[in-house]
Amino acid sequence: MIPQCDGVIPGTTQTVPPSGILFQPDDKCNALKSPSPGTGGSGGSGNPSNHTTRCISPLIPDTMRNGVTNNPHFFLMISYIFLPDKRSHPSALILFFSLCVFLFSAVVIFPLVDTNAMQCFDEYTPSTQQNNLKCAIQGGMLIFASVATCAWCTALILNLHLHTVWNSAWFAKKYWLLHLLCWGFPVAVTAIALGMGEVRWEFATLCLISQDKSSQMFFYPMAAMIFPAFLVHCATFIHIARITAQAGVDSETISRSTLSAGAAAVISHRRHVMMAIKIQWRAAAMAIFAILSVMFYWLFYFLQLSKIKPEALKLPVIEFVKCLYTESHDVCADRLAPHLPPYGLMIAAEFIISTIGTINFIVFFRSTLLREWGDWFNSIVYLCGGKRRQKQEQEQFFVI
């Protein structure tokens, strides 16, 4: 199949100028000239091979996104949901962050079930939220999960800063505010995108906000959280570095009785910071990776994906097709390559953003989780065996 750029637009008697365009005015693909003589015809709707190219294949292998990362991350999320003491502060922050990452990963289910159904409304028309309910659901889910992940990551960073620098547990009593902001803001962003009808499929295997509106409606709201959080994170680590440097200079062997009140307070704060590092280094590492992943993917999306817009690829694709008549495919592909995003960079961007679930599992998984699961199952067996009542009766006897 090769584009017939001067062919009749399907459903009309109009023809495209010889210079050609990548997409027809009705948003459908170019007319085709079939290489097989058996598929000829007058161009009626009953013979689609004579009219339009089929809905195009994935550009980026998005089905690898999060498919591998979901299983270990699911175990971590379930652990924080069911195990005792994991739903209290500050572990609750990790729980909600893990839940958002899982939702972000779960969108891979849609293209795994039927990739073509996500990309296309019919054999030729790309999916939008207006013509494909699956696209609307998957796109809304992806938008919500992405923004919510950034929101709870920001909460992790702010909690680390307050606890380490200011010795404050302010978030412990303000979870109503965290829920309002970290769930409400993603809902608002998702509602605006769906309300304006901007969710559609344009590349890869997933529906998202159209490229024309993606920065204003998707990346800028996330940047409003991520970049300030990154600066706060930097301030936290500068404070940690300064305290650590002071710890190497000052002697800890001096008796507290010989210290002034100010010096004693400095040493006390230093010890608090060191303890905070030991306790919350996992949250700090995860927050850094999440921030860098979002920033890298946004820069790739902003700088590279504009190259695959139809108006940008119009002339290069026409030249590529002309080249195929006289040159080998490899030669023509080399000429087209500068007009496309680098394939290695596409894979890198996709790989980094898809490994958030795996990194989250690696960072927060500890062998104690397995022991806690064992204790949890033992307690269930103990309760089901009726021994709880016996134990209570024995304790009451000894108390009396």
pLDDT (mean) for 276-282: 65
Q: What is the pLDDT of residues 359-370, one digit of tens each?
A: 888 888 888 888
Distance (Å) of CA 318 to CA 5, 21, 260 = 9, 8, 80
- Burial class for 17, CB neighbours closer than 10 Å (0-12, 13-18, 19+): exposed
Q: Check pLDDT > 60 for residue 290.
A: yes
Q: Check pLDDT > 70 for residue 108.
A: yes
Distance (Å) of CA 394 to CA 197, 379, 388, 400 = 66, 18, 10, 10
Longest dimension (CA), the chain: 100
Task: Note the pLDDT of residue 22.
Answer: 43
Determine contact, residues 206/107, Cβ cutoff 8 Å. yes
pLDDT (mean) for 310-323: 82
Determine contact, residues 225/151, Cβ cutoff 8 Å. yes
Q: What is the pLDDT of residues 131-180, one digit of tens each?
A: 999 899 999 999 999 999 999 999 988 998 888 888 888 888 889 999 99
Secondary structure (3-state) at 27: coil
Task: Note the pLDDT of residue 188.
Answer: 97
Determine contact, residues 155/99, Cβ cutoff 8 Å. no
Determine contact, residues 193/209, Cβ cutoff 8 Å. yes
Q: Check pLDDT > 90 for residue 227.
A: no
d(CA 297, CA 216): 16
Task: Note the pLDDT of residue 63.
Answer: 46
DSSP letter string, 148-181:
HHHHHHHHHHHHHHHHHHS---GGGG-HHHHHHH
Q: What is the pLDDT of residues 75-96, one digit of tens each?
A: 888 988 888 878 888 889 989 9
């030729």: which residue's tokens? 124
Task: Note the pLDDT of residue 176.
Answer: 93
Task: Note the pLDDT of residue 267.
Answer: 59
The listed range with the strongest mean pLDDT (92-101, 182-191, 293-302, 329-338) is 182-191
Q: Where are the alpha helices (DSSP H) in the chain?
A: 70-82, 91-106, 109-113, 115-119, 133-165, 175-195, 211-214, 220-249, 261-304, 310-326, 329-336, 343-354, 356-364, 367-384, 387-399
d(CA 166, CA 168): 5
pLDDT over 70, % of the chain: 69
pLDDT band at 42 (very low <50, low <70, confident <90, very high): very low
Cis peptide before 90 (omega within 30 of 0): yes
Q: Check pLDDT > 70 for residue 389.
A: no
Query: What are the two backbone dihedrals, phi and then psi, of residue 251, each rounded to the nearest 5 degrees?
Result: -90, 135
Q: What is the pLDDT of residues 237-270, one digit of tens each?
A: 888 777 777 765 554 444 444 555 555 555 566 6
Distance in Å from the first CA to the final CA of the chain? 91
Q: What is the pLDDT of residues 47-71, one digit of tens each?
A: 333 333 455 544 444 444 444 456 6
**H or E element in which residue 208 lies:** strand 207-209
More confident residue, 13 or 39: 13
d(CA 203, CA 60): 7
pLDDT band at 7 (very low <50, low <70, confident <90, very high): low
Strand partners, 32: 3
pLDDT (mean) for 99-123: 81
Q: Check pLDDT > 50 for residue 20.
A: no
Q: Check pLDDT > 50 for residue 286.
A: yes
- What's the chain's average pLDDT? 74
pLDDT (mean) for 208-233: 89
**H or E element in which residue 33 lies:** strand 32-33
Distance (Å) of CA 131 to CA 3, 156, 288, 382, 386 = 26, 39, 39, 54, 57
Q: Check pLDDT > 50 for residue 41.
A: no
Cis peptide before 72 (omega within 30 of 0): no
pTM: predicted TM-score of the whole model, two decimal places: 0.72
Q: Check pLDDT > 60 for residue 215.
A: yes
Q: Are strands 32-33 and 199-201 parallel, antiparallel or unpaired?
A: unpaired
Task: Note the pLDDT of residue 139.
Answer: 93
């289910």: which residue's tokens? 109
Q: Are strands 32-33 and 207-209 parallel, antiparallel or unpaired?
A: unpaired
Inter-helix orientation angle 133-165/261-304, to 10°: 160
